[in-house]
Amino acid sequence: MSLGSSNNQTRTYFMQRFETLGVHPRGKLGQNFLIHQSAELDKNDVVLEVGTGTGSLTGAMAQEAAVVVTVEVDSVMHEMAKQEHWDKDNIRFLFADILENKNRLNRHVLEVVREELGKSPERRFKLCANLPYQIATPLMSNLLLTDVPPYSMTVTIQKEVGDRIVAKPGKKDYGALAVWMQAQCDCHIIRIMPPSVFWPRPKVDSAIVQLKYNQKKRNRIPNLHLFHDFVRALFLHLRKYIRSVLCSAFKGRLDKEIVDKVLEESHLTGEIRAETLSVREILALSERFRVLLPADCQGLL
């Protein structure tokens, strides 16, 4: 369904509110306010929104979902949104940064999500947000490493990032992000949006991207953290041949002879590059190396 702003939450309304508060939207915080957004929500959904902004999307989602956990890093915007939606008891406003660092999500936010999910076995976790561009990749990637991966992620992100998520082998955008996401999710670009649908206008096109978690795909990965590190290492040096990359990644853990044997058994020549391999081939290659690693080397590469 389409979620738009409420009748009073128009561009003119927000401009007047900003002027009253002496606020000017700041690009460095990714505060591009989308007037319309699409999502599929129902009363079983626990929605995580990152970047509350004016609260326009927040309020619309609260009408459909069980609860909306919304996170905002800007104190003025956080308070403004709370004032706009003071009467809604199914919105949990969190003044926080969703990322503790680029490799770790805010633990308190995840605790709140877990708490809300625990209130009913029917509840599902969904990420739905107009994401600040600079946090989109680490947020979505790290959510798939948690014990509560989202049932779906429907987000507005920079088109360039969307292209990287859905890219196919051999294409210029194909890399670690595509493999990591596609190994666990069904990934689609719903639509492309020009800068004119945002306020203030960004300099690039955006995309609404939807990732639906696929448990059957996830079951193919015995050690999620090892696979995550394997994929990152595989694409660390894009122009290097795969044999060189793998020997470097497993240095001190597996001999070069073992690397050569695994490649031979996988019917792969050492003189190919990672970007030519399909997600299925990378999954199989990762598993061959996993079973050969010593028990104390099943963590970081």
How does DSSP assign 188-246, residue by residue? EEEEEE-GGGEES--SS-EEEEEEEE-HHHHTT-S-HHHHHHHHHHHTSSTTS-HHHHH
Confidence band (pLDDT; 50, 70, 90) for 29? very low
Distance CA 110, CA 147 (A): 10
Higher confidence at residue 36 or residue 226? 226
Distance CA 250, CA 292 (A): 11
- What average pLDDT does the chain have? 87
User: Under CATH, which architecture does the 224-297 domain have?
Assistant: Orthogonal Bundle (1.10)
User: Under CATH, which architecture does the 2-218 domain have?
Assistant: 3-Layer(aba) Sandwich (3.40)
Two tokens, residue 224: 């999620």
Per-residue pLDDT at 297: 64
Has residue 234 got a pLDDT over 60?
yes
- Residues 96-139 have pLDDT tens digits of 999 998 889 999 999 999 999 999 999 999 999 988 888 999 99
Question: Domain limits of the chain?
Answer: 2-218, 224-297
Per-residue pLDDT at 72: 96
On whether the CB atoms of residues 83 and 60 are closer than 8 A, the answer is no
Per-residue pLDDT at 162: 96
Per-residue pLDDT at 5: 41
